[in-house]
Structure 1
Amino acid sequence: MSSFGFDTTADEVASICSSTIRGKTVLITGASPNSLAAEFALSISKHAPGLIILAGRSAAKNEQTAAEIKKVAPDVSTRFLQLDLGSMASIRESAKEVNGYTDVDHIDVLMNSAGIMAGPYAQTADGIEAQFGTNHLGHFLFTNLIMDKLVSADGSKPSRVVNVTSMGHQLSPIRFQDWNFDDGKAYDQWFGYGQSKTANMLFSRALAARYASKGLTSVSVHPGAILTNLVGSTTDDDWAALKKIAHSHGLADFKAEFKFKTFQQGAATQLFAAFHDSVLGENNGKYLFDCQVIDDESVISWARDPIDAEHLWRLSEEIVGQQFGP
């Protein structure tokens, strides 16, 4: 692990973890073209996973990713799952479909990679601020609804849930008393993004606390700055607003120009989180960056606090209208 860092590629990690990848069933959200999730899928496909399930809104886009996988790994099976993380009704239908897979009794890895970033105030189909609703609540509901495919009562089938966050978590804690930004009246796009990314990290903590005894490992991953579709839609004014907020917060990470990674470098930490042994045991629930497990002392307190993690879990249950977990 000490040899891994900024320049490590997903293919390098996959080669090291090849035996662990072999035969696994992996479900990935957000694997449309020009995404880190698609790059992750391509890298693992070269090491004979049993099945790759590509979940997203667009069948056409996910079919493009499946076609790329077919080019590099003709024998690897792929499957499309219709999933709109901005609609609880869609999520419930998608989860019902997964739970009905008669040929898949266990999902080894759930890669929660789909997400949106910044932009004007918008709401999901259920009236939830779009970033919080899509980046966190959508994955919270979907993950919990398919939990029986991830864990077994006796913990005999290990699994991993990887939640993709970013260093944007430093921009905002969870706004427990006003998570919906007063229906847009108190909205700031970067506070909204920060809240959703903090939620990804706290969700990983809560999953680890609840399900470690049943064989589940859950971590959050900051892939780095990559020129994906998300970044490409961000304007100069958006970046200026981000830097102004970061300056007011005293966040050194945002003061310099971002050092961008390639797609291969960006997907490396996701692959490390999904298959490397370093995240097991005492590192369950932790935050990863540059293929390293980050010490809690180096993580801003609101993104690792167990009380906040529990509070977020209960808030999330309240919003989706269903209770989960032991």
Structure 2
Amino acid sequence: MSPYNADTTAEQVALDCRSQIANKTILVTGVSPGGLGAQFAITIAKYEPACIILAARNISKVEATAREITAAAPAVRTWPIELDLGSQNQIREAAAKINALDENLDVIVNNAGIMACPYSKTVDGIESQFGINHIGHFLLTNLLLPKILAKKLPIRVVNVTSNGYRLGPIRFEDWNFDDGNTYNNWVAYGQSKSANMLFSVSLAHKLGKQGLVSVSLHPGVIQTQLGRDVSMDDFQELGQLDRKQGHRTYWGPFHFKTLSQGAATHVFAAFHPSLDLPEYNRSYLSDSQVVSPSEVRSWARDSIEAEQLWNLSEKIVDQKFEY
């Protein structure tokens, strides 16, 4: 039984995990100041990790977070990396830069994302939420894994999802929403978040025996820049969609967390030793606890759909990743 709950802070979990954080090298995507990725990185920096690689689209914001880490923990190495998850070419460039660093990655935290935005496409022609939230991280992670796996050392991959996954499974026959003609911003968000969870399922299945642990997590509802495209009307539409789908649990008012409370499950997912147990590989986490599979919608934990998504993702990035 986890000692943590919705009010647990990132500092509390980091203190408990200090021996697991020490000397580790961590990659975090989406690290703009004021966001969950930056909060996670700054919190763990105090517990003597060897290195934190910070990746985001706006390099000046990455460098601002790197300066905060240096101020809090001068001994921790930081590497700012420009990463545009909406461009497969740029992802490949970023992965090459990370692979060229003389660092041994222990943890990858795929934190970056967008939420419920108007219909648009990435430069590669992919619906933006699916492209940035899932396909970008799928490609980046798989470009980094061969070097990591060659060292035959444990590795954790954390995919930040949301309980918004409930809003939609993977639309295998219409994942691009018919060029916007069938688009709903919340359904598209749900698809991308279900994809994050299925990606962890696939990684655990394919690479668990090689020392890889992969989990996904819901950080909670936090007021960050992630919701910049969401209005009160959008939230009313979200409530209506929940009602149509029969999700009575979500009809009430949101329980908002602080930034530190939101990042707590990041720290738990990245470092807590309990997750090394084989039965917890591929788990979905919330409030720094493992959520029972019986409480997770089938489309976000099904191994068949996970394999279908893997195959679709390989097709979209035009590269096979066979382990």
- Please report how far the alpha carbon of residue 253 of structure 1 lies from its aligned counterpart in structure 2 after TM superposition: 3.2
Q: Deviations over 1:118-159 (max 9, x none)?
A: 121000000000000000000000000111233236x3x101
- Listed as ranges, the gaps of 5+ residues in structure 1 are none
Q: Do structure 1's residue 172 and structure 2's residue 168 form an aligned pair? A: yes
Give 2:147's match in structure 1, choosing from 146, 149, 167.
149
Instruction: Measure the CA separation in 2 of the matches of 1:2 and 1:98.
Output: 34
- Name the residue aligned to 2:272: 276
- Name the residue aligned to 2:319: 322
- Name the residue aligned to 1:48: 48
The secondary structure found in structure 2 opposite 1:248 is helix
- Name the residue aligned to 2:112: 114
C-alpha contact 1:107 1:149 (8 A) present in aligned 2: no
Q: Do structure 1's residue 60 and structure 2's residue 63 form an aligned pair? A: no
Instruction: Measure the CA separation in 1 of the matches of 2:205 and 2:300.
Output: 15
The secondary structure found in structure 1 opposite 2:150 is coil
- Name the residue aligned to 1:125: 123
Q: How many residues align?
A: 322
Letter in 2 for 1:296: P
- Please report how far the alpha carbon of residue 232 of structure 1 lies from its aligned counterpart in structure 2 after TM superposition: 4.1
- Name the residue aligned to 1:286: 283
Letter in 2 for 1:126: D
Give 2:257's match in structure 1, choosing from 231, 238, 261.
261
Question: So what's the TM-score if we normalise by structure 1?
Answer: 0.97
C-alpha contact 2:20 2:273 (8 A) present in aligned 1: no
- Name the residue aligned to 1:33: 33
Question: So what's the TM-score if we normalise by structure 2?
Answer: 0.98
C-alpha contact 1:152 1:214 (8 A) present in aligned 2: no
Instruction: Measure the CA separation in 1 of the matches of 2:225 and 2:322.
Output: 34
Instruction: Measure the CA separation in 2 of the matches of 1:300 and 1:260.
Output: 23
* Bigger Cα displacement from structure 2, 90-99 vs 230-239: 230-239
* Bigger Cα displacement from structure 2, 133-142 vs 273-282: 273-282
Which 4+ stretches in 1 moved above 6 angstroms?
A: none
Instruction: Measure the CA separation in 1 of the matches of 2:296 and 2:9.
Output: 24
Letter in 1 for 2:293: D
Instruction: Measure the CA separation in 1 of the matches of 2:293 and 2:212.
Output: 20
Instruction: Measure the CA separation in 1 of the matches of 2:128 and 2:250.
Output: 24
Q: Deviations over 1:252-275 (max 9, x none)?
A: 232011000001100000100100
How well do the aligned residues superpose, as a CA RMSD in angstroms? 1.0
Letter in 2 for 1:129: E
* Bigger Cα displacement from structure 2, 67-76 vs 24-33: 67-76
- Name the residue aligned to 2:3: 3
